[in-house]
């Protein structure tokens, strides 16, 4: 079996729904053993989330299957003596403890950082929450939609006529999970040198603002307040979505040479000589006029024809695909990004389900889950679980 960077790392995962499970899924893909600690008889809320009612009834909802392949499941009641004893034993033997309760909840159960450090001085304890463990909003409830709004993300998504808009997937949960996985990996690397664990306090709000990159830094550094620009890129022109004979096409001709090549290929070599379009800053000022000229020329071919022609000549360009079309790309399938894993539920479902990797190839092999998503409490016997 392929050796992976986190082989041998043991993760106790108390998380629910998405940000936390997404984090532990990344750790699992890199080789960690992840044990989900779930409420007896109920489990992760994601077990009942998804578009398939039958799967939801079986507590194997699509949302759960997507982020929990390759993990183990144990039912524990942290309010019962037996459950607490089992949990403490698990923590003592773990490398990582991950939770995404509201700030202070685990501490009120008797497991603040001081107590966890007593149980395991080398423990890396990561707490994911909407706002972090400190500050006036620390105990406020937060889902992805709430963070999208508070971060400013929705204020720059859409056009001046449609703003504010939610990003079309739970991006703040995903960012929080990725940042947590990065922080945990960094903490494990640091522990290898010092022998000491640490407490990681991750704010989804702050992680999301950080991930907005230039949208935030342009304001902090240059005082330019961001505005919604729809499918256009504020940093360059032409850079955005354009019209072709059969549908939209993204073009990002951010460099002068790319712009000149684009104009030549669409039969408009005169455009770079126009004072409105000759230089980068001028093109941004006269973006609408430039886009009008480009759209007229681009309607001569299909989106796929332009994608192939422009890409071949070094101009970044690609069609806008649906999710099914993206998943069908040979570029995606050819790298082993999708994996079929056994399906453990009942009913008339097929014997496997398909889940994603994370786009990382290690020593020539794509990262894949090593098993299916677990049934609730499937591994109780391994950990002396108690309800």
Distance between CA atoms of residues 141 and 131, nearest Å: 9
Residues annotated as part of the active site? 173
3 state SS of 166: coil
**Do 368 and 357 form a contact (C-beta atoms < 8 A)?**
yes
Which of 174, 151, 201 shows the shortest CA–CA distance to 23? Answer: 174
Distance from first CA to last CA of the chain, Å, rounded? 35
Tokens, residue 258? 């790319």
Please tell me the number of Cα atoms within 13 Å of 84 on its side-chain side.
9
Coarse DSSP helix, strand, coil percentages of the chain, rounded to the nearest 5 percent: 40, 15, 45
Distance between CA atoms of residues 255 and 263, nearest Å: 13
Question: To which residue do tokens 């989106």 refer?
Answer: 303
Q: How far is CA 383 from CA 93, 170, 291, in A?
A: 11, 33, 62
Q: Which residues, in sequence order, are bridge partners of residue 73?
A: 36
CB atoms within 10 A of CB 298: 24
């Amino acid at each position: 079996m392929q050796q992976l960077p986190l082989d041998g790392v043991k993760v106790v995962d108390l998380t629910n729904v998405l940000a936390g499970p997404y984090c532990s899924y990344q750790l699992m893909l890199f080789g960690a053993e992840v044990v989900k600690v779930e409420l007896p008889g109920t489990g992760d809320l994601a077990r009942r989330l998804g578009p398939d009612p039958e799967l939801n009834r079986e507590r194997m909802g699509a949302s759960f299957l997507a982020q929990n392949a390759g993990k183990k499941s144990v039912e524990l009641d942290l309010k019962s003596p037996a459950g607490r004893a089992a949990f403490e034993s698990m923590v003592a033997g773990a490398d990582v403890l991950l939770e995404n309760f509201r700030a202070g909840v685990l501490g009120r159960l008797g497991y603040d950082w001081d107590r966890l450090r007593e149980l395991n001085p080398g423990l890396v304890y990561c707490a994911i929450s909407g706002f972090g463990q400190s500050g006036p909003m620390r105990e406020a409830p937060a889902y992805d939609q709430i963070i999208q709004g508070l971060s400013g993300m929705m204020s720059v998504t859409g056009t001046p006529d449609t703003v504010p808009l939610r990003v079309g997937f739970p991006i703040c949960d995903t960012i929080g999970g990725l940042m947590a996985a990065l922080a945990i990996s960094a903490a494990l690397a640091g522990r290898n040198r010092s022998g000491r664990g640490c407490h990681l306090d991750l704010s989804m709000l702050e992680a999301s603002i950080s991930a907005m990159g230039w949208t935030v830094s342009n304001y902090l550094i240059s005082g330019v307040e961001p505005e919604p620009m729809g499918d256009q890129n504020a940093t360059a022109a032409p850079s955005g979505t354009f019209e072709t004979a059969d549908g939209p096409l993204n073009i990002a001709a951010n460099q002068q040479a790319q712009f000149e090549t684009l104009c030549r290929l669409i039969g408009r070599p005169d455009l770079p000589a126009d004072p409105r379009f000759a230089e980068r800053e001028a093109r941004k000022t006269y973006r609408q006029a430039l886009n009008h000229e480009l759209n007229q020329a681009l309607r001569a071919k299909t989106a796929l024809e332009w994608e192939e022609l422009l890409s071949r000549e070094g101009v970044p360009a690609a069609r806008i695909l649906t999710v099914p079309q993206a998943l069908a790309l040979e570029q995606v399938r050819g790298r082993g990004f999708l994996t079929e894993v056994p399906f453990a539920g009942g009913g008339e479902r097929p014997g496997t389900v398909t889940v994603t990797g994370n786009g990382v190839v290690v020593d020539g092999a794509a990262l894949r889950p090593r098993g299916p998503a677990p049934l609730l409490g499937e591994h109780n016997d391994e950990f002396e679980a108690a309800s």
